[in-house]
Structure 1
Amino acid sequence: MPRRRTLSSCLALAAVAATPSPARAQEPAGGVSYEPAPPALEGVTAGVLLSRRSELLGGRLTFKGTLEERFAGRTVVLQRRLPEGGWIELTRTVADASAAFRTGWRTDRIGRLDVRALPIAADGAPSPATAPRRITVYRPARATFFGPGLYGRQTACGQTLTPRLAGVAHRTLPCGTLVDLLYAGRTATVPVVDRGPFRAGHSWDLTAATARELGFTTSDTIGAVRVRDEPPVSP
C-alpha cells in the first residue's frame, strides 16, 4: 500500500518549496550577469580618463584612458557619481595588453556629472580609480535670440538691454539663475535676464551677446541645463 503523508510532512515540503532562491547578480541590458565592482581605493589614482566635456542628452560619449601596467587585460568599470554620494556603474570593458581601454556611454541624465574608470584587480581587492572626469550633459531645446531694435529697454529682471548684455530669457526660471548653453561645439554660462521667448515651440531666447558668443544666428536647437550648487571635482 502507498504510504500516507502526515500533515507535518506536507507542511515541511511546502516550506521547502516556498524558500526563495539565492539573489542573482546584477544583470545589465546586454543580458550578461556579473558581480558588482569592488569599492575603490581612495587617495590614489589608477591612470587617466579622457572624453569630450559636453554632449546632448541621448548622445553617445566615448571614454578612453590608460591605466597602470598591472591592469592590462583586466575589466574596467565606467562609473558616474550619484548626487547623494557613491557611484553607479554605466558600462564596462577590458583593458588591452598596454593597459589602455575605450568604451562609450549613451547619456541618460542631464547636468554636470563626474565620471571615473575603476579597474578590477586580479584578486578582486579594492583598487584605485582614475581621477573623475567632469562632463556636462545638456537637454536639447529650441531657441531664438533678441536684442536689435530693443536696446535701451528694461528687461523683466531689471537690466538695461544692450549689445553687451550676456544672458537668456526664460518663461519661469528665477532671474539670475545660471544656465549652461551648448551650440555647435561652443559653450557659455549666462544668467536669466528676461522673460520669454514668446514664439511657440521655443524654450529659450538668447541675448545678442550670448548669440554671438555661441555663433548662433537663427532659430535652432541648442543644449541647455540649469547650473546647480555642486561639490568640486575630487577623487
Structure 2
Amino acid sequence: MNFTRARGAMSLAALLTTTAAAGTAVAYAQAPGLPGTPEAGGSKPAGSTTSKSAPKKASKTSSRTKVRSVRRNVTLGTRMLVKGTVSPKGAGRRVRLQVRTRKGWQSVAKDRTSKGGSFRLRYTPKSPGSLKTRVVFLGDSKHRSSRRTVGRVNVFRKAYASWYGPGLYGNTLGCGGRLSPGTIGVAHKSLPCGTPLTVRHNGRSVRVRVIDRGPYVGNREYDLTSATRSRIGFSGHGTVLTTK
C-alpha cells in the first residue's frame, strides 16, 4: 500500500516538474528581445525578401531644331540647301533632312552640327515635284530628339506652254465644269484630271490642278487659263517651270 502511494506521489511530482519545464520553454521562446527571436535580429520569417530600388536614369534635356534658311525653288539638277541650328549648342550632333514619300519619311541628306550648333544639309533631287520636307535632330545620350518642318520645296523642270480663255468662256472643260475668266488651272494631254502641280515664271509661282485637255498645237505641253497666266505674268507662249 505504502509502495503504491509512493509511486503515485512520484509520478505526480514528475508530471508537475515536466509541465513547469515545458511552460518555461514556451515562455522563453515567446519572450521578446531574447536571442534567436525576430525582435532580437534572429532568423526572418519564411517568405520574406529584401527589395532594392533600381537606380534612376538621368533625364534628358529638351532640344530645339531651328531652320534659318532654305532654298524652296530649285530646277532639276540643282542642289537644294537647308541651313539651321540645334540648341543647346554642341558639336557632332546628328541631323537629317527628310522627304515625305509614299513609304513615309525618308532621310535624303545628313550632317553633324558644328561647335556652335549649326548645320548645312544639301540634297540634289532626281525628279521634279513638290516635296514635303523636314529637319530632324536624332537626339543623343543627353538630349531628346527634335524636328522642324521645312515646308514644301518645289523641284522644277522646263516645259513649253501657251494660254487660252477669251472667246472660249462658257465652254465645257475636259475634266468637268465650265471655263470662266476666273478659272485657275491648266490643260494637259495625259496627266490625270485633278493632278496638282506648281507652275513658275519670272520668279512667281502658282499652285494649280489639271482641269482640261490640250493643247494640241506644236510641242506645247501645257495650256494655262487666262487667270493662271495672270498670276505668274506669262504671256503668249514660251517656257515655264513646272513640277510635273
TM range (shorter): 0.5 to 0.7
Query: In the alignment, is the contact (CA less than 8 A) between 2:65 and 2:146 conserved in 1?
Result: yes
| Residues 40-79 of structure 1: CA deviation (Å, up to 9, x unaligned) | xxxx763112413333332221101111124334443333
Query: What's 2:98 paired with?
Result: 79
Distance of 2:109 and 2:174 partners within structure 1: 45
**Using CA pairs below 8 Å that are at least 6 residues apart, which structure has the higher relative contact order?**
1
> What's the secondary structure of 2:104's corresponding residue?
coil
Q: Which protein has the larger Cα radius of gyration, Structure 1 or Structure 2?
A: 2
Number of paired residues? Answer: 181
Query: In the alignment, is the contact (CA less than 8 A) between 1:45 and 1:130 conserved in 2?
Result: no
Query: In the alignment, is the contact (CA less than 8 A) between 2:72 and 2:80 conserved in 1?
Result: no
Residue of structure 2 aligned with 1:69, choices 88, 99, 103: 88
Gaps of 5+ in 1: 1-43, 227-235
Query: What's 1:135 paired with?
Result: 152
| Residues 20-46 of structure 1: CA deviation (Å, up to 9, x unaligned) | xxxxxxxxxxxxxxxxxxxxxxxx763
The Cα shift of 1:205 comes to: 0.6
Distance of 2:100 and 2:192 partners within structure 1: 28
Query: In the alignment, is the contact (CA less than 8 A) between 1:138 and 1:181 conserved in 2?
Result: no
Query: In the alignment, is the contact (CA less than 8 A) between 2:138 and 2:146 conserved in 1?
Result: no
Gaps of 5+ in 2: 1-61
Residue of structure 1 aligned with 2:179, choices 151, 161, 164: 161
In the superposition, the TM-score normalised over structure 2's length comes to 0.61
In the superposition, the TM-score normalised over structure 1's length comes to 0.63
The Cα shift of 1:146 comes to: 1.2
RMSD: 2.9
User: What aligned pairs does 1:1-235 form with structure 2 within 5 A after superposition?
Assistant: 46-49=64-67, 50-88=69-107, 90-119=108-137, 127-140=144-157, 141-225=159-243
Q: Which has the larger share of helix?
A: 2
| Residues 187-213 of structure 1: CA deviation (Å, up to 9, x unaligned) | 222232221111332211100100001
Distance of 2:105 and 2:174 partners within structure 1: 41
